[in-house]
Structure 1
Amino acid sequence: MRLLVRFLGFLFAAGTVIFLVGVAAAAGMIWHFSKDLPDYSQLQDYEPPVMTRVHAADGSLVAEYSRERRLYLPIQAVPKLVINAFLAAEDKNFYDHGGIDFTGMARAAVVYAQNYGSNRRPQGASTITQQVAKNFLFADDEKTKVSIARKIKEALLAMRIEKAYSKDKILELYLNEIYLGLGAYGVAAASLVYFDKSVNELTIAEAAYLAALPKMPATLHPVRNRDRAIERRNYVIDRLLENGWIKQADAEAARKAPLVVATRNNGAKTFAGEYFAEEVRRDIFERYGEKKLYEGGLSVRTTLDPKVQVMARKTMAAGLVTYDEAQGYRGPVSKLDISGDWGVKLADVKSLSDISPWRMAVVLETSDQSARIGFQPGRELGGAVAKERQTGLITIDGVKWAKVASGPTRGKAPTSVSQVLSPGDVIYADPLFKDGNPVEGQFRLRQLPEVSGAMAVMDPWTGRVLAMVGGFSFDQSQFNRATQAYRQPGSSFKPIVYSAALDNGYTPSTVVVDAPIEIDQGQGGGVWRPENFDAGKYNGPMTLRNALRLSRNTVTVRLAQDIGMPLIGEYAKRFGVYDELPNYLSYSLGAGETTALRMVTAYSMIANGGRRVKPTLIDRIQDRYGHTIFKHDARECRGCDAPDGWHNQPEPQLVDRREQVLDTMTAYQITSMLEYVVQAGTATVVREVGKPIAGKTGTTNEAKDAWFVGFSPDVAVAIYMGYDKPRTLGRGNAATGGHLAAPIARDFFKLALADKAAIPFKVPAGIKLVRVDAKTGMRAGPGDTGRTILEAFKPGTAPPDNYSVIGVADADPNRMMPPGAPPDAGTIMRPGTGGLY
């Protein structure tokens, strides 16, 4: 017995020594690994890379920009279902342990022993806190190493993190940081990427699938490894049921639910808004830099009106296609060997993704009356070509526009489909319409237009760009012709010249001679003889109103010569059309180069009464915390910050300190004259809108560009059409701005103003409306009827009974004077004396 006692005492002493040695060793190990632990306090100020989101004026999503697709959600915004799903999959004891789950470790060890030798993946024992420690605090190269040293550091950090932060904070960091596949970081982004839903809309099955992804997102791909993905999803559903977080019936329904993903791409989310979105992206990049754009989590509210954008895209594309088809069919996109599975071969041909409802197709067989075509199949999420094959017919009605390219009937409308199409032709087609309705199963041949152009739509009172079309297809060319293409505006620049004149003593009834003129350009430049569009035809003395209505070049040159190009250059700069305008008279006819956005901005200043506007695509930018860091509207609001609400005090007042670039009365005079251009001038096609619209056409030398710029009281638009490598659009009237650009404006205004009242342009205080003869500009007598109009005059400038004519000195006075002209009509009177010039 004594020996037993001594032996037990020895064992106890030895055990104590071993225990103490073990404790000492453990303490030493803890001290060793604690020396160079990462600084976990940085989690307090952690700002993960968050995507920048761009929204339209109505709040709809336009685009997202990021390196890591992440939306940061506070834990309070994450639904309980989603939280429970991730706890069930990763760490069901999360709210009970102190950073290390010893129970979970034991369970994992037992499961590992039971499955030893099988191919089943070992059950993990890392807690969510440990995963936070690994993902946030270790370098990328150390994260991928599986080592005892890193695991010990991970565990030590987890315990320290648990003491420093609340459970909710730790879970919030985890749910926003984890990578869940397909480029999505965090649950909010993953919900959008996989299911195109917010987290609040996820079903049990969808939440369980997302919760299954953190450990192996590539292995659980929803298409390539669908069965494995469903198996793991159902495992999470079982854990939810086991923990009592969902009901039995809900679990059974979730297990049976198919795994259907609805992925979203990274492009513009608003149809037809690609050019607008890219312009916004460039703007943000220039303001804040690359890091802020792709990681800063900015919220950008743009000026884009999605409805107006669709209208602009529709009408501009239709105008380009109409012109292009009139030039004839140029042949297929390419040729394809249609033997075997034509769908797989066609799927490899690059097609444009933003020209819906056009679709790429291949001609499978042809006859005189029709061609059977097969449409390009889509691709599944994994990249495989979809198995479904869709076909349709192109009948003779679908190719009537395609002129025969060769042979005795070259240039004539085809009499059979086989004259135009051959098997293997890769083409574009869209539904065929008759009487406004689609014909079932029949399609129309299409071709990508060679001609291009641009449209910019603006709110003239604020400078907010409502819509922008930078070309036919952004997928085809990202060059934004509305902002980056510098083209000659031609006669659409003339209102700037006339504004300078009216602002400096001239009136709409000033008479200028439309007659040949010679300009000595000096220094060996020779003699310049400007001509009107209808070369060789002149109208003699005419009012400025009529000269602008008929776009007479010689009148504009005489006017520019009279007031001086330096003054016109100052106005061009003031309106933002040009930064610097050379002092050559040819520039008064729009020979300089500018953009559609600059032109619509200039006309907006005329439309709003002469106030300067700065074009903007962005209303407001907020940082990730909701603080406004940019706001376009700089007007001061007096009385808007009443702390106690409204108590019958005077209404708030907006103080507008924007520069007055043009006299208000001058702006109305030009507006009235431009309205006359639409009613009876070169833009009469726009008159079909049936609402007050003012505007001016423009056609450059050799008809390389065709323009229309104009406005209603609330919408301004600039349109040009031309080839990217400038060449003539044609000959005669068929290639003018009135024939090509103005019809696009007509169609746009019909859509944009469809539900708007016909509000006339506002007449400013001080303007005097006087009835005058529409041709001579002289006061109308009591009995005059027929061709009289109400002309707008500033105080003291209404016409008296005598007048003089600009340009009569270098013209035949007997031929140029209107009937009843006084003998001294050849004297040029100084501006401001009340005469006609």
Structure 2
Amino acid sequence: MFARATGLVKLVGLCLAAGVLLAAVMFPVVGGLGLASNRAADTVDQTSGELAKGELPLVTTVLDMNGAPIAYLYDQYRIPVSFDQISDTMKAAIIAIEDKRFFEHGGVDWQGIARAAAKAGADGEVSQGASTLTQQYVKNYLAFVIGGGSDEAYEKATEATAARKLREARVALQLEQVMTKNEILTAYLNIVPFGNGTYGVGAAAKAYFDTTPDKLTVPQAAMLAGLVNQPSVLNPGNGVEAAIKRRNTVIDRMRDNNAFGQDKAAAEAKATEFKAAEAGVVPDLKLLPNGCVGAGDGPVYGFFCRYLVDYLTKYGFTEDQLLRGGYTIKTTMDPVATRAAKEAAEGQVPKDTEGVANAMAVVEPGADKHRVRALAANRDFGNNAEAGQSAYSLPAEVTRFGAGSIYKVFTAAAALDKGVTGIDKEIDVPNVYTSKVFKDGSKPYTVRNYSNGTDQKMTLTKALATSPNTGFIILEEKAGLDNVVDMAYKLGLRETMHDVNNAGDPLKADGSNGPSQGDQFKQDNSGSFTLGPGATSVLELSNVAATIVSHGTWCPPTPVEEVIDRDGKPVPLKEPACDQAVAPELADSLAVGMSQDAVSGTAAGAAKGFGRPMIGKTGTTENYWSVAFIGATPQYAGAVMTFTDGVAPQIICNAAAPRLCGNGGTIGLTGGEVAAPTWFNAMKVIHEGKPVVPLPPAAPKYK
């Protein structure tokens, strides 16, 4: 008796609901009726218009310089399709199981509501939902588009309240006035989830059957149609038995809805045949790779992908836009250069070497753009350290380790700029020197050369090749530390000098963990700057070399050629403009001054067989925790850093292969031993087939 009474109450409620909905059709409400979404101020009319437009979250595709896909970024895996690209069997299957009167009602199935009300009156339970495809489209749009697919949004879009159902029905009624039935059916099939992270029939057909929606057979279409009821439970990725059982229920509904013709015997025979078919699901679901982990066959593109995402979010995009916008991003990544850098880095330091990373960046110089052609490391980009992976952007981010004597390039450039010396002029290079300007705490600052030499003087060009410490401390005194630090910024260490502190940590907006690394060296009057002890970015070192051989023009190291939106229109980026960092004559003269390292300097052993005019400079930090090399031809610039990436930094020693060897009294690796060979091994491949281009001549002013 109580159940019957409860059913009568529900019957009255449903009748009242029907009355309200009829009134809504006859007297449209303008504004004020909020929706069950995360934007409570939206009106029904606004949301109806948004649903009619139907702009869905789409996959962003990342392409290399040749137009080949290298990665995909998405929140929802979806392949949008048109009405004509969906098989009639798929349309018949979804209508049969979800809304058999779809082409007869106006958005709300009054007969279905009446049946539900009658059922409620008979047994006290509403066992028939009476939710149309149009209403389901509204619900899914609110949950997965407006709400972004969050748990909160899904709960709001599906909450079991009369108010929510009324609002959903009202929007459905409005949609039926502005969209055709075919448009609504297509929109529904493009938005609904099918399990395993797939949304829409395009992605589902590809994932489960490795086909397209227009080629779906009856058993395939019926299986997909059955998934939308409970996609996480019924999808064949979790086991085919439940999926086949549900599929066969759909086939029966299709038969009952005359999808196989009105001849009952023939329709029954077809249904029996279709239900006997095997599941037909591909052994390995064809799911689209998502994100930077695993990008590229190998994988080898993950570090570039990570830098790309960071770059785009810094200069014009939000991460949500990238994951939902359906952009096509044409990048600057050269797959040949990337693989060459990867093989060279891993060839010198195997990926499973404990605590030793070897990272390389390659940038193409230019007057209007510095294109990043490769970012690679001996590690793969990923979260499994035991498999030789790293989640840190090793070639692109500012590491906490120094580049050693490479920073002498900035001292040389500042000395040339201030007229202190010229590339052919001799400078003092005593074996030991105590500075008259810089201090080591309360004591005078004393430096020694790596090895005692007989020369007490040498040209700046020879000094850049052989790297005596004392000579560059003297030049730093004469040129001024502030000018040397500023030169490092001008030539390319812009993030390194301005945006991080001495530990390499990004500066907080309130400056509480500052000052910047560059300001810290200035404030401390630290002469050690020219010896490169501070945090450094491999990519920015590469861009320094690119700036020098670009006749002094600095450009941001960009990974982006062009961004195209879903409508085929280019999207501008807010990238920094290129600037003339130093005079072209100064840059060209500095390049000539750096041209002997690969001939008779610290990189000569590694450079054998390269045979091209180039600039170069090795670097080794005083504690032997890191070594580096930068170099460039007029066609390509690059940098390599080998550094300790374990929890506790140690000296890197070079035995049969680089290894950690503690921190006690051991002379470790130098920049000419691992970093330089990595550079030359990669650049030999990258330069194959390219003409030999000479360096520009030095200006008389800077000789």
Distance 1:92 1:484, change over 3 A: farther
Please point out which of 60, 64, 72 is paired with 1:53.
60
Deviations, residues 164-215 of structure 1 (Å, cap 9, x unaligned): 3222332233123212112333234434554676657867765543333111
Please point out which of 400, 406, 423 is paired with 1:492.
406
Distance 1:133 1:573, change over 3 A: closer
Query: Does 2:575 correspond to 1:659?
Result: no
Say if 2:72 and 2:289, in contact at 8 Å, map to a contact too.
no
Distance 1:687 1:662, change over 3 A: farther
CA displacement at 1:600 relative to structure 2: 1.1
Deviations, residues 466-516 of structure 1 (Å, cap 9, x unaligned): 222366243234222331313221111222222333445543321223323
Distance 1:70 1:252, change over 3 A: closer
In the other structure, the counterpart of 1:749 is 683
Say if 1:50 and 1:72, in contact at 8 Å, map to a contact too.
no
| SS of 1:706 mapped into structure 2 | strand
Query: Does 2:685 correspond to 1:760?
Result: no
In the other structure, the counterpart of 2:10 is none
CA displacement at 1:105 relative to structure 2: 9.5
Please point out which of 478, 486, 498 is paired with 1:570.
486
Please point out which of 297, 304, 321 is paired with 2:333.
304
Distance 1:201 1:278, change over 3 A: farther
Please list, as runs of the form range in 1=range in 2, the aligned pairs for 1:514-553 lying within 5 A after superposition: 514-516=429-431, 517-521=433-437, 525-534=442-451, 536-553=452-469
In the other structure, the counterpart of 1:816 is none
| SS of 1:530 mapped into structure 2 | strand
In the other structure, the counterpart of 2:532 is 590
Cα distance in structure 2, aligned partners of 1:254 and 1:674: 76
- The residue type paired with residue 45 of structure 1 is E
Say if 1:40 and 1:161, in contact at 8 Å, map to a contact too.
no
- The residue type paired with residue 63 of structure 2 is A
In the other structure, the counterpart of 2:364 is 459
Please list, as runs of the form range in 1=range in 2, the aligned pairs for 1:44-443 lying within 5 A after superposition: 44-46=49-51, 50-51=57-58, 53-57=60-64, 58-70=66-78, 73=81, 75=83, 83=91, 86-87=94-95, 89-91=97-99, 94-95=102-103, 97-99=105-107, 126-136=131-141, 140-141=154-155, 144=158, 158-191=172-205, 193-194=207-208, 206-233=220-247, 243=259, 255-256=277-278, 258-260=280-282, 261-268=285-292, 269-270=295-296, 271-286=299-314, 287-289=316-318, 291-321=320-350
Please point out which of 361, 378, 392 is paired with 1:479.
392
Cα distance in structure 2, aligned partners of 1:207 and 1:679: 68
Cα distance in structure 1, aligned partners of 2:485 and 2:20: 81
In the other structure, the counterpart of 2:427 is 512
Distance 1:596 1:26, change over 3 A: closer
Distance 1:235 1:220, change over 3 A: same
- The residue type paired with residue 509 of structure 1 is D
Cα distance in structure 1, aligned partners of 2:455 and 2:102: 90
Cα distance in structure 1, aligned partners of 2:466 and 2:142: 73
Cα distance in structure 1, aligned partners of 2:88 and 2:479: 74
TM-score, normalised by the number of residues in structure 1: 0.61
In the other structure, the counterpart of 1:683 is 603
Larger Rg: 1
Note the aligned Cα RMSD (angstroms). 4.3
Say if 1:70 and 1:176, in contact at 8 Å, map to a contact too.
yes
CA displacement at 1:157 relative to structure 2: 5.3
CA displacement at 1:576 relative to structure 2: 2.9
CA displacement at 1:749 relative to structure 2: 1.6
Cα distance in structure 2, aligned partners of 1:33 and 1:485: 63
In the other structure, the counterpart of 1:383 is none
Query: Does 2:650 correspond to 1:727?
Result: yes
- The residue type paired with residue 484 of structure 2 is I
- The residue type paired with residue 192 of structure 2 is I
Cα distance in structure 2, aligned partners of 1:140 and 1:492: 55
Identify, as 1 or 2, the structure richer in helix.
Answer: 2
| SS of 2:580 mapped into structure 1 | coil
Query: Does 2:570 correspond to 1:613?
Result: no
Deviations, residues 19-61 of structure 1 (Å, cap 9, x unaligned): xxxxx99985655787879625523224666255250334444
- Structure scoring higher RCO (CA < 8 A, sep ≥ 6) equals 2
Aligned residues: percent identity? 28
Deviations, residues 526-557 of structure 1 (Å, cap 9, x unaligned): 333322211x3342332222221212222323
Query: Does 2:695 correspond to 1:671?
Result: no
Distance 1:732 1:587, change over 3 A: same
Cα distance in structure 2, aligned partners of 1:502 and 1:203: 75
CA displacement at 1:613 relative to structure 2: 1.1
Query: Does 2:541 correspond to 1:599?
Result: yes
CA displacement at 1:738 relative to structure 2: 0.4
- The residue type paired with residue 281 of structure 1 is V
TM-score, normalised by the number of residues in structure 2: 0.72
Cα distance in structure 2, aligned partners of 1:233 and 1:309: 47
In the other structure, the counterpart of 2:661 is none
Deviations, residues 403-449 of structure 1 (Å, cap 9, x unaligned): xxxxxxxxxxxxxxxxxxxxxxxxxxxxxxxxxxxxxxxxxxxx552
Cα distance in structure 1, aligned partners of 2:34 and 2:557: 53
CA displacement at 1:741 relative to structure 2: 0.8
Say if 2:651 and 2:666, in contact at 8 Å, map to a contact too.
no
| SS of 1:218 mapped into structure 2 | helix
- The residue type paired with residue 182 of structure 1 is N
| SS of 2:333 mapped into structure 1 | coil
Say if 2:625 and 2:643, in contact at 8 Å, map to a contact too.
yes
Cα distance in structure 1, aligned partners of 2:430 and 2:34: 89
Distance 1:274 1:537, change over 3 A: same
- Which ranges of structure 1 fall in alignment gaps of 5 or more residues? 1-23, 322-354, 356-446, 635-656, 768-792, 798-831
Distance 1:26 1:152, change over 3 A: closer
Say if 1:176 and 1:185, in contact at 8 Å, map to a contact too.
yes
Cα distance in structure 2, aligned partners of 1:479 and 1:632: 25
CA displacement at 1:125 relative to structure 2: 6.0
Distance 1:227 1:54, change over 3 A: same
Cα distance in structure 2, aligned partners of 1:201 and 1:557: 73
Cα distance in structure 1, aligned partners of 2:86 and 2:392: 41
Cα distance in structure 1, aligned partners of 2:276 and 2:330: 38
Cα distance in structure 1, aligned partners of 2:275 and 2:16: 53
Please list, as runs of the form range in 1=range in 2, the aligned pairs for 1:701-712 lying within 5 A after superposition: 701-712=622-633
Cα distance in structure 1, aligned partners of 2:599 and 2:248: 70
Cα distance in structure 2, aligned partners of 1:308 and 1:204: 48
CA displacement at 1:89 relative to structure 2: 4.9
Bigger Cα displacement from structure 2, 29-38 vs 262-271:
29-38
Say if 1:320 and 1:472, in contact at 8 Å, map to a contact too.
no
Bigger Cα displacement from structure 2, 27-36 vs 276-285:
27-36
Say if 1:549 and 1:676, in contact at 8 Å, map to a contact too.
yes
Count of residue pairs the alignment pairs up = 591
Cα distance in structure 2, aligned partners of 1:53 and 1:561: 52
Bigger Cα displacement from structure 2, 678-687 vs 462-471:
462-471
Say if 1:620 and 1:632, in contact at 8 Å, map to a contact too.
no
Distance 1:569 1:151, change over 3 A: closer
Distance 1:289 1:102, change over 3 A: closer
- The residue type paired with residue 188 of structure 2 is Y
Deviations, residues 659-700 of structure 1 (Å, cap 9, x unaligned): 222333333333334332112221121333344443211111
Say if 1:708 and 1:742, in contact at 8 Å, map to a contact too.
yes
Distance 1:99 1:591, change over 3 A: closer
